[in-house]
Each structure stands twice: as C-alpha cells, then as structure tokens.
Structure 1
Amino acid sequence: MEEEKAATTVVDGRTLVDRMAEVSGEIASISDFRNACRKQFCDLSRRMKLLAPMFDELKESKDPVPERAVRSLTMLDRALDSAKELLQLGNEGSKIFLVLESDRITNKFQDLTAELVKSLEEIPLDILNLSDEVAEQVELVRAQLKRAKERVDTNNVDLHSDLLSVYNLSADANADPLILHRLAERMQLKTISDLKQESLALHEMVVASDGDPGESIEKMSMLLKKIKDFMQTQNPEMGTPTNKKNLLPTNERSKPPIFPDDFRCPISLELMKDPVIVATGQTYDREFIEEWLAAGHDTCPKTQQKLSSKTLTPNYVLRSLIAQWCEANDIDPPKRPAKSKPQPACSSSQHAKVLDLVRKLSSRRIEDQRSAAADLRLLARLSDDNRSCIAEAGAIPLLVNLLSTLDVRTQENAVTALLNLSIYESNKEKVISTGAVPGIVHVLRRGSMEARENAAATLFSLSVIDDFKVRIGNLGAIPPLVSLLREGSQRGKKDAVLALFNLCIYQGNKGKAVRAGLVPILVGLLVDPEAVMLDETLATLAILSSHPEGKAAIAAAEALPALIEVIKSGSPRNKENAAATLAHLFSGEHQLQYLAKAYEKGLVDLLIGMAKNGTDRGKRKAVQLLQHIQKFLKQQKEAQAHEEVEAHAQAQALAAESSFPISPNSDDG
C-alpha cells in the first residue's frame, strides 16, 4: 500500500509540475499590455517569469515530488491559472473597459498577489532539491509580492474620472473636446489602427455576451465613437484608406474576408444589409424576406413554422455587430437599400379635398376641427397615397396642436389620424420634427381610454427608428405606457407592451421602464392562464434582464418558476427568451440561490432537450445555462467535501481529547 501511495504521488506531482511549466511558458508569451493598468500587468508578468526556472528545475529533476510539496504546489498552480487569465485580459482586453473597471481589476491584482504570497510561503523549498540560485530567486519573488500587496496603484485616477465624465453622457450629448483629447492621448487611441483594435476588443466582448450586449458595452461603444469622431475632426485624413492592403502578398490580397454564418441571410446566403426579425425569431435580410412574403408565403423559410404575423422587426444589435465586424476587417459596411417605391401622390380632386380639410383644422369652431380630424383619420387609414398627400398638405402640425384640446372626440380623432399617418415611413420624421411626442404623451396620460390606446400605438409606430427611441424615452413616455399596460383593454395593453419593447431596445430606456414598475406587470402577464401576450412579455423581459435594475426586479418578482415553465412547454421563440432571461439571472449577485432552485425544479433535463432542438440562439443560451449549473454543482460538491473533512477533523480531536483525561494532580490554573 505504501509503495502504491508513493507511486501515485510521483505521477500526480510529475503531472502537476509539467502543467505548471506549460502555463509558465504561456505566461511568458504574453508580452504586450494595453496602456491602462500597464504597470500592474508588467510587474505581474515579470514576477511570473522569475518563477519559470523553478518549474524548469522541478521538471528536469528525476526525484519524485514530495507529497507535502504537491499540496502547496497545487495552490500555486491555481494562482498561475488566475495570473494567466488576468494577463490575457491586459493583453487583449478593451482599453476603455480596463480603465472603467480599474478598481475591480486592482482588487483582482490584490487578491491574486495575496494568493501567490501564501502559496510561495508554503512551498517547502528545502526538500525540493532546488539550486541555491533558484531558491533565492523564488524568495526574492515572494518578498516582492509581499511588498506589492501593501501598495495600491492610483496612477489612473484622473484618467478614470475623465472617462466616466464621457461614459455617463447620453448618446446625443456633446463631450468636452479637451477631455476627449486627453483620453485619446493617454489611452493611445489616436490612429485609425488604435481605434480599430479597440473596436475589435469591444466587439469580442459583445460576442462573449452572445450577441446580447448589456448597457456597459453599449455605452463603451458610444464612448469610443465620440473619441473616434473627435480624432477625425482633428485629422480629417485619418479615415482615408491607405495602401496598407497593398503591402500584403498577392495571394493574400485576393482572398475576400469570410463572413460569419450568423451575418448571412438564410435566403440569399449573403451578408445582410438590413437584418429584420420575423415572428418565429429568425433573422433575414429585409429585401429577401419581403420578396418571400410578397410571393404569398406565410411560413418562416428556415423553420417552416407558420408566421403568427408578418411584422418585420429591425435587428439593431445584429446590424451593429455586422458594422463592427466590417470595420475590423477593413471593408465597407453594407448599405441599406434605398426605398425603390415611388413617392405616392394624390389625384387633383383628392388633393383639393385634403386642402379643404386642413383649412378646417385651423378653424376656431370646435365642430369644424372635430369633423376635419375625423375625416383625415379615415383617409389616412386607407392608403400610403393618402398619407403622403395629407402630410404634404401640412396637416401634421395642426393635428399635433389639437392633442391638447379639451374636446374628447377631437383629441381622439387627432391622435388616431397621427397614428395612421405615421404608418407611412416618410411621415415618421415629419411627426417627430413637429414636436408631436409631448402632445402624444399628454394624451397617453390624460386622454380617454381610446385616445390613450391610439397614442400608445403611435409611439410604437414611431419607435421603430433608433434615434426616436432616445427622444421618446427622454420625453416621459415610459411611465404612462406602463400605466396603460396595467389598466388598458387587451388591444391597449398589446400596443403598450410593443411600444415598451421597442423603446427598451435602447439601453438607456431600460432603467426608466424598470423604475416605472414594468417588471411586476410583465411577470403577472407571464403567469396569466390565458397567456394572451406571452410572446411580447417574454421578449421584453429578455431585453430588460440585461440591465442591472431589470435583473434585480425580475428576481424580486420571483419569475423563476414561470420562466422554467415556459422552457418546459413554450414555443421555440419563447423558450429562447426565457433562457436568455435566466442566463442573466444566473450571472447575478444571488446566482447560487437561483441555480439551486432551478436545479431542484428539473431545469437540467429541459435545457439538454433545448440544446438539441431549440432555435440557434436558444441552443447557445441552453448550453450557457448548463455550464452555470455544472459550475454550481461542482462548487456544491467541493463545499460538501470540505464540510465532511472538517467534521472528521473535529471528531478526531474530540476522540483524542477523551483518551487523555486531565490528571487529578495537574495544575488547572
């Protein structure tokens, strides 16, 4: 038995030493670090390289590794893995991320340093047969680390402050040029190459988030764009294509970049210009899915499922990812095709009728205003020709003015006319530019139920444009939309949740929606036995869960059982959104609590099935969740083993104490 135990120790010790030598070599190959926290990364790298001779000598030695040394070297092995991971972050990570997270990264350095000091102190150098020079070098590293543990790097305090001042600005706010200049200088983001490398680093963070970026990544991208725009104003030639590509060998120049499969339209197999989501959750290029639908098909080309609606929702996240990928690969991003449809025009008789109605809108008689708004409401409902004609005749500003009228029917007709006009793409900008949103929000707050519901539908129609999401959210639309979702009819609730979903695609609106009380209402709809708005509810919960406040609110509303039930029996699209929501919950502050409950409710088997048969995104989310659960189970097993060891040690201590009773003649103090 003793020989067997010794043999096991040799094998385990040898394997451990070989692995540590390999990791040490990998650490040595990480030689360049982003400028943020650079000194900390360089110091750690240098000290790790000083330990390499110890691993080399242990690897070359033919003596078995003593068991006492194996235990302490195992601790050092774990610390080496942590050091490699941290150094890779310093080598490949986003400069902006490294500065914004400098406090957390400094804490990581402190924790790692303490772990390294403890492991090096416990290594029995005297029994490892190391040369004197190597043993002295290990002692030197331990002493350096011990001193470093007491120091905190404060070199980036001013840089962190400058970065935060721009990071916290809204997307359309102007940053101080002096601050942008300092940021570009100190973070070395002055050339197109620097900016592209940083953009690529942020892109990798988006990919790691499974195409579902949280608020911080979006705000970092916005911050980088501000720096890039500033640098291009300072150096207009910076973005001009250079001859860099011509420096490549001919055979390399001839190779076009390979588009990621997720960026290709499933119909055309080409890079998507205008990605849109259909009712099944699949994404297609707008041009090709519109042709498919125009040909009379009512199914999803990829899944063959019948489409519950033919609504096409822009996939803004994917569009952004494609643009970032194109920028990183030095190619022009695909341009969205211009509308080929000719501008509609009214007949002369129709035009005269519209002009007469517009004149009545300007009348001081409330009866004229009411009847004219009602007639325009009906005309705008009929065709794009009418919608274009009414807008060209100048009706939109006059209808906006009527939103504040005290006459209920006139207000209902005015807001509904604006809804019907906004359906036509070219009219959306006209409605927004006349300052209609405050009036629509007023109707949403104080109008009749019919007027409120049509106001919500108008905001839904307008909010499909990215820039309008920001404006509508900033003008107070979210709280009254949440109120309508709570109080409205079935139609009103649906318009409200669709408008809220569109608005919350913009990260800055998510916190406003959560603080307005949206999450408890959504969770209530989730458990509604009629499940009339399950698709919209789950899609909205999924995007809110990427926001810290949204995640906390979903957890507080105890949505876990309902989300698991959806994964058990929901549609593929709903399973996907439920899994996406759970993935965010399981990465939160109280993840162990949620993981334990999810495991007890049999989530593992459901996820295994989903990983095999779900949508593409659903499969990825299922695998991600299974990894969370696997990690949780491993931690539980290790904790249980630790408790058993402690219990055994206590039992042995009690047994030893009872076998040596205190002598009656002993001095008990």
Structure 2
Amino acid sequence: MVIHMSQDNFPARKRRPSAGAFVSPGYSDQKLLTSLFLLSQEISSLEPLKFLLNNTSASFIRKARLISIVFQDLLISDHSILSPSAALCFEELFILLHRIKILLEDCSTSSSTWLLTQIHSISNSFHQLLAEFSTLLDIFPSKEMKLNDDVQELLDFIKNHCSQQPSDSDAEQLRARVLKMLENIKKEIVPDPRELSEIFKALDMNDSTSCSNEIENLEDEVQNQKDDKSKADVVALIGLVRYAKCVLYGASTPRKSRMRRQATGEVNIPADFRCPISLDLMRDPVVVSTGQTYDRASICQWIESGHDTCPKTGQALAHTQLTPNLALKNLISMWCRDQRIPFESTENFNGNKTALEAVKMTVSFLVNNLTASQTAESVNRVVHELRVLAKTDSDSRSCIAEAGALPLLVMLLGSENPSLQVNAVTTILNLSILEANKIRIMETDGVLNGVIEVLRSGATWEAKGNAAATIFSLTGVHAHRKKLGKKTRIVKALLDLARLGPTSPKRDAMMAILNLAADREAVGKLIEGGVVDIMGAELTEESLSEEAVAVLEVVMKRGGLLAVAAAYNGNLVKRLTTVLREGSDRAEESAAATLVIICRRGGSEMVAEVAAISGIERVVWEIMGNGTGRGRRKAATLLRILRRWAAGLVGEQLNNNQQHHSTTVDTNLTRIVLPA
C-alpha cells in the first residue's frame, strides 16, 4: 500500500493566513505587541504531542514560552510607536505564531494512525516554520526596542536553539511497520497479533475505547481529504484499527459514541433526511420525476431492478432522470456536522483491496468468536460489533453474510436478553440494505420467521421497530413484497405496531405498510385489519402525518370501494382536509390525491361530504397556487370535481367509475377469501 505524502496533504486544511486577516489598518503598535504576547502564551499552554513528534512539538512550545517573556518586557517598556520595519517584523511574527498554533492543534486532534502515515509531510511543515521563525528572529529589531541585557540574552538563546532540529526518529520506524502491515493485509496475510499489539501500544491505544476514538477520528479525516486515493488510504486505516480493536481487546459494547448513536438509531434523524427506500441518512439526495427525493444509490438500485414507478407514491415514472437535490444535501451536511456524524460515506474508494481484506479478516474473527462464545454477555458484545460493522458499507454487509452470520443470528432473535435481541435483529436489518442479502434473508431457514416473531412479540419497542424496518427493506423487491403480503401475521403485527408503538417504531411500521399496500392482495388484508382507521388517527400527529397520508393514498388507490367505505365510516374526509390546511407540502400533495380518489370512487355522497367542509375551496386554491407540482395538479382536479358536483354534473361519470371499481373490488375480495 502506498500512502501519498505531499507537503500539503495534512497541513492543507489550514492555509497560511495573510497579515490582513489579523492586523487591520490603524491597528495600534501596543495592541500588536499585546496580541503577540497573548498568542505566544496560548501556544505555551498547549500540551506536547504525546507519541508522534513529541520532541518537535515540545520544542516549539518551549520557544513560544520563552519569546512570550520578550513580548511581555516590550509591553512593560511601553513601545507605543514602532518603525515600519519593526511593525512589519512583528506582524510577520504574529502570522507565523498563528500558523504554529494551528498546526499543533491540528496534530493534537488528528487521528494517530493518519498522523503517523503523514509524518514526513508534517515534519517538513514544522521544519519550514522553524526556518521562518529563525529568519524573523535574525531581523528582530533588538536595537530599536532597546532590550535590556537579560532579555537580549534570552532572545539570543532562542535563536541558537532554532538551529537545532529536534529528532523524532522512532516515529519513522513505527510508520514503516504500519505501512508494511497494510501491504501484507492487501496480500491477504493476517497480521501477527504480537506485532499488532506492539504498534498499538506505541500509539497508546491500549483498550477498546481508545480504538473506538481512533476510528471516529479517522472517519472525520475522510471528510478532510480532497481526493479519492487519500480517502481510500484513510478507509484502509479504519479497517486496520477495527481489526486490531477486535483481535487485541475483544468485541465490546462501546460507550455512546456518535458511531453507536447512529448505528442504534439513538440519533433522531429528521424524517426529511432519511431515504424512503433504505430509511438511512441520505448522502446524495436526488429528485425523481414525481418530485419525491431518494438517496441516489437506493433509487438507482430500484430502477436497475426493473421498477418503473415511484417507490413512495406508486406513480409511473415519466423518465428515469435524477436531479440532484443540492439544497437538501447542504442541509444534511450541516446537520451531520452539528451532530458529529460523518457525512461522506466511508465506502471503500476505488475498490481499495487493503480495506476490503481488513474487513474480511475482522468479519472472520467475529463470526468465529460468535460460534465459540459461551456467555450471553460475550455473545452480545460480538453481535454488537457485527451490527456496527454491518452499518458501515456494502463490502462489510456482503462479507458478514458470506461468512455465514445469518444462521447464527437467527438463534439469537428469540433471546431473553433484550439487548442481545435488539443487536441481532438490527444486524439483520443492516445486512438487508444490500440487495443480494435480501435474497439470503428470504432463503435462509428461520431468518424471516425469526424477524416476524420479533415484530410480533419483541422484548422492546426498538426490537419491534427494527424488525418492521427489516420487513420494509425486504419489500423493496417485488417478489418478496407479494410473498410477505400474503402472511396475515406480518400484516397484523405491522398494524399493531402502527397503532400502539412510540413514534420511531410507528414510522418503521408505516413505511413497511406503505410498501405492502402496493400489492392488491395485501391491501385487502390491510383494510380488513383497520389500516384506514389507524392511519386516519395518525393524521393529527405532525411528526407522522406525511407517512400516514402516503399510506392512505396508496390504500385508496389499490383498495377500491372497500377502502372508500372504510374512509366514510371513519370520518376520514375531515381529517384529510385538516392536512390540506396544516400539513407539509408532501402531506398536502398526498391528501389532495387521496381526496380525489375518494371522490371519484365514492360517488356523489363522498363529493358532498368534501364539499360540506367549511372553506374547502379556499384551501384548494392555496395549494393550487403554492403547492408542489403534483399537489397543484391534484388540487385542480379536486376543485373541478367539487364545482361539477355543485352544478349537478357529477352523476354519470362518477357512478360509472363507482360501478367499475365495485366489480374490481368484488373480484379481488373473492381472490383473497377463497383458497388457491
């Protein structure tokens, strides 16, 4: 493995500041000296780097501490007016000290392993700064400042020490060992545990927590790199650290780090930031022809699988062009920055073989340990590691499934340990994101039944919600959707969760119901189970109204008069008009579309009920003026229906539609009730 090292590879994050950035016109000489004193004090208060470049960083900190004494003496002497040459020298010193401070702070917060691989570049940056510091001390205006003998002697002492280059030779040897280990991993050579231990102890990574911190720092580092090759190198280091963490310190449940919060769903990802297909945070949101937004990878996979409809609305796609949603992407990026969640995926760049082999080694170690583990606690730690790993990228999901983890996870779904059950079902959920794994889950004995049992009677709401999310993921495949929709216990369990669960599990259940409702046979079961009443009740919940009205739209479209009858009996129309008034743009769009379907299939009585709502036309007019493209079209259609009814012209066309759909529903119900 070759790590690219340029002069700018690490320090490029902080460009050399210009004098104008700190010293504005009219900036008094006294203030300049004060700023120099304070800045040198800030540097002197920093801690030397612990393991890498310790001597170099300590040397800079000592020099800053000493020169702060010089600046302090100048302040006491009250040099309120400086000559142009002296002022220029001090301005340059201020800029240089600021660059030194930035480099020291960057190194102290950086990943240790990445810092090690970039040691040449960073050392060169320190040496360059030292040379510039020495030059400025050579032209220091000592005579003009009339330094006393003690201060002049101190300044000369600093100058002499600038000629001595601090040595950090141990870092170079350690770097060579790490690069050799990465190269061996690329060749599928498993690292020697003893050498691995020596390297990680030298980097002061002596336990699982320190390794987890290092992985988080490396994930941050991915975002700082500008080219795919450098990003791939960082991802390879993540693979090495994750492998070492498991091998050296054993699988363990980490503290609630940002990775764990993201993996477990403890971070409340805003609904608009989740892809409707994967339910995962969108990294590259794109808009399809219907106006819905999906993550690019998910919708591309959907289209490539032969689908020509919008997954959320069921509408036919007019074309398959994808428009980047840059505004949403920027919002997600800012939110991730605030939450300290990596925004850019750590997928293996350019088929990075080192990273892939590191993942394979880690998975093999974990799966073998899962087989050998004796206590529930040790099993839970291993499964948690698999859960987090399955969250990271497609290669990890593929490796875990290929290593035979699914049959082992099945045996844990019925565990009496709530944490173990959650970890097991969530690992399966994370694995199901990969298309090939959907087939494995459906075909591996016991996996689907195990997930269904967790959905029905899981020990916690989190376990039930993640089981529902797994069903949702599986229903992304048309053949799986039909098979799952035939299972009454799945339909009932999803409806129970949507009725009784807390917000997050409810949303997972609703998304699974939305997919199932696209199948005519399944929608009949959903209606019989009370889906219309359940979704109608959720229309008043702002956090779930979009999902609820989307389900209702599909149910009305697929369910015919049976669905309309349920809507009539449940007083749904008034609730839908409330969404028209108060809902989000997407909710308004679906509500308008649902009302159009209800009016067309429900006949004059339904149209009369809609028309009787106070202020309905004004609300429809507002959507026609300010709604989404589809929302405006549906609102215009709804207004035409209402006006034709008011003019007494609804009659024949609506009644013909009603008769046609009645026949369709009767046929469908016969197919549902009679055995095949």
TM-score by length of 2: 0.44
Q: Which has the higher contact order (CA 8 A, sep 6+)?
A: 2
TM-score by length of 1: 0.44
